[in-house]
Amino acid sequence: MQLITVAEYLFCRLAELGIKDVIGVPGDFNLDLVELLEHDERFQWIGECNELNASYAADGYAREHGISALVTTYGPGELSAVNGVAGAYAEHVPLIKITGGIALSKQAKNLPLHHTLLNGAYDQSFKIYQQITCAAEILNFDNPGAQIDRLIESCYQQKRPVYLQFPQDLVTHLIAAPQAKLKLITSTTAEQESKITKLIGQINLQLTTAKKVVILVGELVERYHLQALVQQFLQNSSVAYVVSWGAKGAVDESHSQFAGMYAGCFSAQEVQDYVENADCVLALGWLYCEINSGTFSTKLATNKLISLNLDSGAINGEDYTEISFAALVDSLCQSSIKIAPYPRNFDAHYGVKPEQLSSQIEHDNLIYRLSQFLQNDDTLILETGTIAFTGGYYTLPHGCKIMSSVNWFSIGYALGATTGVSLAKNNGRTILVVGDGSLQMTVQALSTQLRYGLKPIILVLNNSGYTIERIFLGENSSYNDIQEWNYLRLPAAFGGEAYTRQVSTDKGLVEALNDTKSHANQLCLIEVVMDKYKQPPALQKLAAIVAKMKK
């Protein structure tokens, strides 16, 4: 029997998952582990400037690659990463959170060590992570290999973070090498198969008898890597389909069957009417939340909605639980079914084409210009803020997708996530649009991108502070203001080189975007100067709803 260290066991599993970049921040309790990573040719250590940015980068890497690994030290380090890991949990992103922990031998002596609360307990962080992961364990000497496998399999199967605390004295402890591959695909029981067969029969009956059918494609289709399977099913069945706000690009939006983005009142009116007047709406992996539902303005009658979601399904008000989402969608897509066409007489793509170049940059200009700029396989990342409320409106070419934090909405997320996406991306460009207030939250991520030679295209919206907050309260209050930075000098301040340009007109924006094509070999940073009171249509609708609720 071959013996290897526990660290090597973990590394074998990470390599099996195709993870090539391990993101994190070194600290004294993880140094033994990080030192081994440093000299392991299977991985590149990506050292972030702080743990919050590292957690955001790991989120972005997981969304692009399918799963990621994040390493911090015990106590302050892991607590600094909590926000990003919680966001990954809220949005079903599979992230392996690895904490370098205090040696079990030291814990047994009850030593008052640094990074502890000096209260004799060592598990406070562990208890916190139990709330924001689908599984959490502290490795021990009994069977750490089984613990590692159990955590990784849970992470991959449930598409949510897991927490793995790695005590110092287990790093070089010898155990048996893995004897088999990870069980990444959940096997279904006979009872589950019976439930799936019954549910698929009911779905097919309802789909074939309805005259107006729409399929709503949600985020979990992408999280479970079911895009190609679902796309083929959509085309074979001839059904009309829409995407949720958070699933832009999950399926082909250039296809003739594509009928737009549906998110209640955030949708174009004709799309909202089209979906809500259907006889049957089949929702695949739709995360029902405030933004995806247009602030709960969706009107989908229970007797018309079939919802297939994580480990559950619902049809005609009857719930089915403990059903594998991937297995259920696979069974549905394998069924040969033809669905009656549901005619429509509107353009599925949102877009206000400017009649002429504007003297100022409006959000509709930005949406239109970026839609023209996007190419196949690009990833467009939208930061939390005003720009997040343009997410549902872009026209996307084949293979292009939009990535954003649809529910957690943590300001500063996207710049860090851009690092992870850029690392994991094999084809296409990484494009980020970030507000000035958000940028100032996590600007050190720019340093990391320059350090590792990453080449995203970054548009910084300089609208003088927290414009998204101004629309709700404090339109002219100082707490919504920020210090004015010289954004174009940031790359040089971080010791790197980049293409930089400031634009304040529609014409300048078009020119700057075109210029990036001849600067593909370097990071590009464009400062887009906008009026601090300009808001996209969806944000205006949200503000109106919030104002009405206050009355």
The string of pLDDT tens digits covering residues 510-545 is 999 999 999 999 999 999 999 888 888 788 877 777
Q: β-pairing, 318-321 with 312-315?
A: antiparallel
Roughly what angle, to the nearest 10 degrees, separates helices 51-65 and 444-451? Answer: 60
Which residue(s) pair with 144 in the sheet? none
Nearest to 283 by CA among 237, 247, 321: 247
- β-strand pairing of 379-382 with 430-435: parallel
Backbone angles phi, psi at 235, to 5 degrees: -70, -40
Query: Within 10 Å of residue 189's Cβ, how many Cβ atoms?
Result: 11
| Residues contacting 549, CB < 8 A, separation 6+ | none
Question: Mean pLDDT, consecutive 10-residue segments, the chain of 551 residues?
Answer: 95 98 97 96 98 98 98 97 98 98 92 88 95 98 97 96 97 96 86 87 91 96 95 93 96 94 94 96 94 93 91 81 88 86 87 67 90 96 91 93 94 97 97 96 98 98 86 84 94 97 94 96 96 81 72 63
Q: What is the pLDDT of residue 543?
A: 76
- SS3 for 363? helix
Whether residue 350 contacts residue 365, with contact meaning beta carbons closer than 8 Å, is answered with no
CB 34 within 8 A of CB 24: yes
Q: Tokens in use for 178?
A: 């893995």
pLDDT digits (tens, 9 = 90+) for 2-30: 999 999 999 999 999 999 999 999 999 99
pLDDT score at 150: 98
- Taken in order 14, 15, 16, 20, the sign of the CA dihedral is positive
Residue that has been written with the tokens 């966001």 in this structure = 87
> H or E stretch including 107?
helix 104-108
Please give the sequence-ordered ranges of beta strands (E in DSSP) within 277-429, or none if there are none. 280-284, 305-309, 312-315, 318-321, 379-382, 401-404
Per-residue model confidence (pLDDT) at position 116: 86
Res 354: pLDDT: 63
